[in-house]
């Protein structure tokens, strides 16, 4: 079911499907909720799945100057609207950063959470420089030109060689982003704090899904963090870069289902 709410006068779109314990899937930068379609189709018979489009993505309007904490508040407003007291939240990439912000602000609403190709670390100086160059490119050439250039780097060498059509399909779905939205996301990520303490303090189960060929969130970074929570579930996708839900959908589905059933 397609739904929307108004936040600060802006329309925020989300989908709800399935029945059972609630699970929110939070997409990342340069994506919208449709990136989870493989997982939604697989999980909806056992769980109630909530899939938001973050402000400025998909069918949701941009809330200008939003921090990651502001976007976590948007997710809080959605679960409040759905009368959900506790849920599992799984965040991909930037969605994982938002999930950690949510865990810091609203830990009492989480029964578990997951970092899907994501990290609790703040941006390094090198990463900040890369994002600042990205902002310059976006402002000069536009959002789609940037995503068309950057997106192939998110996939593994195996995917590039064996399934280039998957990458082309993903790129073709990215033509509705505004430069303002992408710049806003980059600025929010640059300014985010280190949140390894949230992992260290976590008393709920935490899922880590790691891509062997992930250049955006290197496996070594994830492996340095996954021992911090009281209870961790750790999985390596051996054929994936940063887009495991698309590159290895069946494996990703099985990992998510097992985690959700175990908890």
177 in Cβ contact with 56 (< 8 Å): yes
10 Å CB burial of residue 9 (0-12, 13-18, 19+) is exposed
Tell me whether residue 205 is in a domain. Answer: yes
> Closest by alpha carbon to 44, among 210, 225, 260, 224?
260
Tell me whether residue 129 is in a domain. Answer: no
Q: Dihedral through CA 109, CA 112, CA 115, CA 119, nearest 10?
A: 70
CA 167 to chain centre: 18
Q: Which residues are CB-neighbours of 133 under 8 A, at least 6 positions away?
A: none
Backbone torsions φ then ψ of 62, nearest 5 degrees: -75, 130
Tell me whether residue 162 is in a domain. Answer: no
The CA distance from 79 to 109, in Å, is: 9
Using the CB atoms, write b or e for 161-195: b if 16+ within 10 Å: eebeebbeebbeebeebebebbbbbbbbbeebeeb
Backbone torsions φ then ψ of 48, nearest 5 degrees: -90, 115
Tell me whether residue 172 is in a domain. Answer: no
Structural domain count, the chain: 1
Tell me whether residue 143 is in a domain. Answer: no
Q: Which residues are CB-neighbours of 129 under 8 A, at least 6 positions away?
A: none
The CA distance from 207 to 226, in Å, is: 8
Other Cβ atoms within 10 Å of 100 Cβ, number: 29
| DSSP assignment string, 14-53 | EEEE--SSEEEEE--TT--GGGGHHHHHHHTTTSEEEEEP
Helices (DSSP H) in the chain: which residue ranges? 37-43, 68-81, 94-106, 125-141, 143-150, 157-162, 164-172, 179-190, 196-201, 219-225, 244-247, 249-262
Tell me whether residue 52 is in a domain. Answer: yes
Tell me whether residue 157 is in a domain. Answer: no
**pLDDT of 223:** 96
> Domain of 225: which CATH number?
3.40.50.1820
**pLDDT of 99:** 98
**pLDDT of 164:** 97
Tell me whether residue 10 is in a domain. Answer: yes
Per-residue pLDDT of the chain (263 residues; tens, 9 = 90+): 999 999 999 999 999 999 999 999 999 999 999 999 999 999 999 999 999 999 999 999 999 999 999 999 999 999 999 999 999 999 999 999 999 999 999 999 999 999 999 999 999 999 999 999 999 999 999 999 999 999 999 999 999 999 999 999 999 999 999 999 999 999 999 999 999 999 999 999 999 999 999 999 999 999 999 999 999 999 999 999 999 999 999 999 999 999 999 99
10 Å CB burial of residue 104 (0-12, 13-18, 19+) is middle
The CA distance from 159 to 245, in Å, is: 12
**pLDDT of 157:** 98
Look up the domain containing 238 and give its range: 2-123+192-262
């Amino acid at each position: 079911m397609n739904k929307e709410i108004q936040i600060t006068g802006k329309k925020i779109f989300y989908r709800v499907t399935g029945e059972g314990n609630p699970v929110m899937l939070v997409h990342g930068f340069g994506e919208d909720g449709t990136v989870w379609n493989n997982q939604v189709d697989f999980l909806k018979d056992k769980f109630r799945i909530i899939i938001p489009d973050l402000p400025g993505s998909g069918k949701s309007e941009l809330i200008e100057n939003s921090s990651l904490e502001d976007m976590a508040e948007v997710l809080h407003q959605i679960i409040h609207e759905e009368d959900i007291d506790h849920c599992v939240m799984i965040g991909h990439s930037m969605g994982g950063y938002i999930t950690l912000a949510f865990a810091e602000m609203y830990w009492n609403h989480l029964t578990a959470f997951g970092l899907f190709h994501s990290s609790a670390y703040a941006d390094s100086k090198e990463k900040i420089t890369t994002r600042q160059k990205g902002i310059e490119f976006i402002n000069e050439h536009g959002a789609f030109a940037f995503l068309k250039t950057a997106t192939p780097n998110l996939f593994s060498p195996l995917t590039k060689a064996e399934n280039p059509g998957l990458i082309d399909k993903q790129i073709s779905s990215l033509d509705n982003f505004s430069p303002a939205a992408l710049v806003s996301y980059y600025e929010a990520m640059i300014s985010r704090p280190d949140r390894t303490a949230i992992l260290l303090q976590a008393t709920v189960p935490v899922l880590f899904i790691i891509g062997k060929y992930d250049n955006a969130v290197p496996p070594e970074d994830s492996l340095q963090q996954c021992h911090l929570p009281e209870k961790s579930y750790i999985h390596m996708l051996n054929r994936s870069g940063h887009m495991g839900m698309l590159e290895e959908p069946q494996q990703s589905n099985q990992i998510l289902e097992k985690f959700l059933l175990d908890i």
